[in-house]
Structure 1
Amino acid sequence: MQDKRFSRSEFLALSSLLAGSTLFPSRGDAAPDGGVAPVRAAGSTTPARAPAGGVAVPAQPSQAEFEQLRRGCTASLTAGSTADDGAEYVRIGEWMQRQKLSSDVYGNGDFVQAFEKRIADLLGFEDACFMPTGTMGQLIALRIYADSSGVRTVGVHPSSHHVMHEDDSYAVLHQLRAVYLGPWTRPLQAEDVAQAKEAIGTVSLELPVRWLGGQLPTWEQLAALKRTCRERKVKLHMDGARLWESQPFYGRSYADICKGFDSVYVSFYKMVGGIGGAMLVGNRDFIRESRVWRHRHGGNLYQLAPYVASAAMRLDPALAAIPGYVQRAKAVTTLLAADPRVTVLPQPVQTNMFHVFLRGTPGAYSRQRDRIAREDKVWVAGGFGQTRVPGVVSTELQVGEGLGRISDADAARAFLRLLEAS
């Protein structure tokens, strides 16, 4: 039998291919359930698929069957809740009744405005505006800065959400242009801004970088980036979709982390577990203009209170639990990385999310995942993406509420059962 083990140094050498421009996506490129963005065939508008070669391919489960299998598990190594949606909506209503909260009209209401003020204070800013989606909030920030400066270029990491997951909305809706800064293989740094070959009006920094397994710049690197943008009069916006999970790495308050940014967006469904929604924070004039743009985007919903309540009732418990999740992620990844057939990125992990790389094919691992779910009741992965390295796939994992009371050793053991099929 062929030895399928590979060393970390071998993988890291191979993964330098990830920095190649061939990985830059066209519209809508993203792995649906985890892993890296799918590789496209030349001239194709859909992810490339290996030919069947005349061999019968097992039927894929329907979405309903997929969800039933996932929800039947008692523990999960992926993001997302297995809670019944209907029960969650009832819980939100009951929480609002206990708090004696009145609803809002187009965001105007004491409860919504008090929550906006709370998040602004938590992140160290003057004001905040609740947004139905993070995509909307970030587009608004970039548009305001472009109109103010007259410079319509936005510096981004090659894996930025703006270019990977928004159907080119920054260009189509706001006539902005993305400038890739730095290589794929590390977070954006000050030198990338300083060495940019064209004028940049705004830099949008993802903290942490999702497609690098939650990697973060060091505190010194982050300070240097803030300083460089300030000196060059470049607006610095934070894509803080996972900012909450970054705090244990820096060991500083959220306000200290955000200091030096002109604006920040945070999510309330990622990690917090709310039904949706986001917050955009900045100075008062910026937020005043953001509210106008929220209306122009069609995001001024008649009632925002249900979304705000979902975030408000979950926020404190979620933030309190994150340090424990990060510690568990470190323990689980240490166990996984001890197997020479597994590569974890980053190692050691910096947040509670990380990527795992394995030799094999996405289909084989997906079938084994389903088998583990049926037999062990542990959901060990969402999906598996083909990387640019031939024969190597990746999956994205996140330690959170879904891991429940299962031990770290049992979680690692369940995941390593994937290799029984490799």
Structure 2
Amino acid sequence: MDAKVFLKETYGNTRYQLGGHGKRTVDVLKEAIVNVDDRLPSDQYGAGKVIEDFQQKMADYLGKETAVFFPSGTMAQQAALRIWCDAKGLKRVAYHPLSHLEIHEQDGLKELHGIETVLLADKERLIELDDIKGLDEEVACILLELPQREIGGQLPDFEELEQISGWCRNNGIKLHLDGARLLETLPYYRKTAAQVAQLFDSVYVSFYKGIGGIAGAILAGDEEFTQQSKIWKRRYGGDLISLYPYILAADYYFDMRAEKMGQYYEEAKELAELFNSCHTVSTLPLKPATNMFHVHIEQPMESAVRIVSEVQQETGIGMTGYLVQSAVDRCSFEISVGDALAAIPKDSLKELFRLFNQKLQPPH
């Protein structure tokens, strides 16, 4: 596993940050509920106006019949894949080797559901139609992650998605979208969320990543699918007596930021150019496909930690809270552009990259 070094002290003490929407504090909730009518009835065990109105809003946005609010995406996606496996009577699914389910969930899909997984493509690239056509084993469902986070937020062409969708439907394979960052893909595709979602049988969207809410997710599909998902939500213990803090925050920040994804995307491309102008630094991809990309530094970990820490301390601008070592002389970190970047004074941003580039230069 890649070594990871946290830079909590220097990052935590910065005034500005390159990525995200700002530091996560309880103000995220306070801001969302300041104008909410305190007489509004709470949702209870998955029912009530608060949750039902938001679920319908998201179903309409995604162009699906119905939608269900889950407290976590992990819960929602495992439920989705189990439903499709049960429908086909086959406990086998396929996804990318760096799928969240494969590397971040402690094998929950396998341990809790006994579902076998087939890994498509390799770690360095996106899944392509030929990978799916070349499957040696029958699968009930294929999961596609848009964008593919662990390789810098890369995206397939929309035409490739259409071909994959058509092939899966013609061959009786369900297609599920890990759309944790679906909204972030829309400026690149120049499509609506519904136009992307129509290619998939089920869709998951997160509300704490690009949207910047507290937590929570939507799982959308047809009526039969979502009714089954409600059963699995109950089995998982996801039907808390009330989920309204998550829902109110999700709704508030969705309305605030859904239409700003194009701005974040343009700013991410400009930011990537600044990183790529620095000595021994490159981004993956070179031109971001979304507001997210990875920054690679060709320096030993010890040197990179020192340089980034010094730059953060001297400028008061947080570049990253961690570095991941991927080779002896190479490390990286991830940036997702949000509201925070625009708050940085232009002169301060210019000074950040001047200083960063200077410190990356070899000693004379």
Residue in 2 that maps onto 1:171: 110
1:263 aligns with 2:202: yes
Residue in 2 that maps onto 1:108: 47
1:81 aligns with 2:22: yes
1:90 aligns with 2:42: no
Residue in 2 that maps onto 1:374: 313
Cα drift, residue 420 of structure 1: 5.7
The partner residue of 1:72 within 5, 13, 31 is 13
Structure 1 residues 263 and 418: CA distance shift in structure 2, 3 A: farther
1:242 aligns with 2:181: yes
The partner residue of 2:294 within 341, 350, 355 is 355
After superposition, the C-alpha distances for 1:226-273 in whole angstroms (9 at most, x for unaligned) are 111111111100001111100000001110011120000000000111
The one-letter amino acid paired with 2:336 is Q
Residue in 1 that maps onto 2:339: 401
The one-letter amino acid paired with 2:16 is A
How far, CA to CA, are the matches of 1:148 and 1:127 in structure 2?
18
Query: What is the count of residue pairs matched by the alignment?
Result: 360
1:193 aligns with 2:132: yes
After superposition, the C-alpha distances for 1:145-186 in whole angstroms (9 at most, x for unaligned) are 111101111111111001010000000000011101112222
The one-letter amino acid paired with 1:366 is V
Could you tell me whether the CA contact under 8 Å between 1:326 and 1:399 is conserved in 2?
A: yes
Could you tell me whether the CA contact under 8 Å between 2:297 and 2:304 is conserved in 1?
A: no
How far, CA to CA, are the matches of 1:262 and 1:336 in structure 2?
38
How far, CA to CA, are the matches of 1:367 and 1:339 in structure 2?
16
After superposition, the C-alpha distances for 1:112-150 in whole angstroms (9 at most, x for unaligned) are 100000001101100000000000000000001111101
Report the TM-score, using the length of structure 1 for normalisation.
Answer: 0.80
Structure 1 residues 381 and 151: CA distance shift in structure 2, 3 A: same
Residue in 1 that maps onto 2:192: 253
1:231 aligns with 2:183: no
After superposition, the C-alpha distances for 1:15-48 in whole angstroms (9 at most, x for unaligned) are xxxxxxxxxxxxxxxxxxxxxxx34xxxxxxx6x
1:328 aligns with 2:267: yes
Could you tell me whether the CA contact under 8 Å between 2:121 and 2:128 is conserved in 1?
A: yes
The one-letter amino acid paired with 1:150 is G
Mind listing any 5+ residue stretches in structure 2 that lack a counterpart? none
Report the TM-score, using the length of structure 2 for normalisation.
Answer: 0.93
The one-letter amino acid paired with 1:82 is K
Structure 1 residues 117 and 411: CA distance shift in structure 2, 3 A: farther
Could you tell me whether the CA contact under 8 Å between 2:300 and 2:328 is conserved in 1?
A: no
How far, CA to CA, are the matches of 1:120 and 1:259 in structure 2?
12
Secondary structure of 1:95's match?
A: coil
How far, CA to CA, are the matches of 1:224 and 1:184 in structure 2?
22
Cα drift, residue 350 of structure 1: 0.6
Residue in 2 that maps onto 1:35: none
More strand, by proportion: 2
After superposition, the C-alpha distances for 1:314-371 in whole angstroms (9 at most, x for unaligned) are 1122112211111011111122223352111112111011111111223332233232
Structure 1 vs Structure 2: percent identity of aligned residues?
Answer: 34
- Aligned pairs for 1:339-354 within 5 A: 339-354=278-293
Residue in 2 that maps onto 1:12: none
How far, CA to CA, are the matches of 1:352 and 1:297 in structure 2?
33
Residue in 1 that maps onto 2:73: 134
Could you tell me whether the CA contact under 8 Å between 2:96 and 2:144 is conserved in 1?
A: yes
Secondary structure of 1:315's match?
A: helix
The one-letter amino acid paired with 2:335 is L
How far, CA to CA, are the matches of 1:421 and 1:385 in structure 2?
22
Residue in 1 that maps onto 2:250: 311
The partner residue of 2:328 within 368, 390, 403 is 390
The one-letter amino acid paired with 2:339 is E
Instruction: Point out the more displaced range, 343-352 or 402-411.
Output: 402-411
How far, CA to CA, are the matches of 1:411 and 1:87 in structure 2?
28
Mind listing any 5+ residue stretches in structure 1 that lack a counterpart? 1-37, 40-46, 50-59
1:143 aligns with 2:82: yes
After superposition, the C-alpha distances for 1:187-209 in whole angstroms (9 at most, x for unaligned) are 11211110011111110100000
Could you tell me whether the CA contact under 8 Å between 2:307 and 2:356 is conserved in 1?
A: no
After superposition, the C-alpha distances for 1:279-300 in whole angstroms (9 at most, x for unaligned) are 0000011001100110000100
The partner residue of 2:96 within 153, 157, 176 is 157
* Runs of 4+ deviating beyond 6 Å: none
Could you tell me whether the CA contact under 8 Å between 1:368 and 1:421 is conserved in 2?
A: no
Structure 1 residues 125 and 241: CA distance shift in structure 2, 3 A: same
Residue in 2 that maps onto 1:181: 120
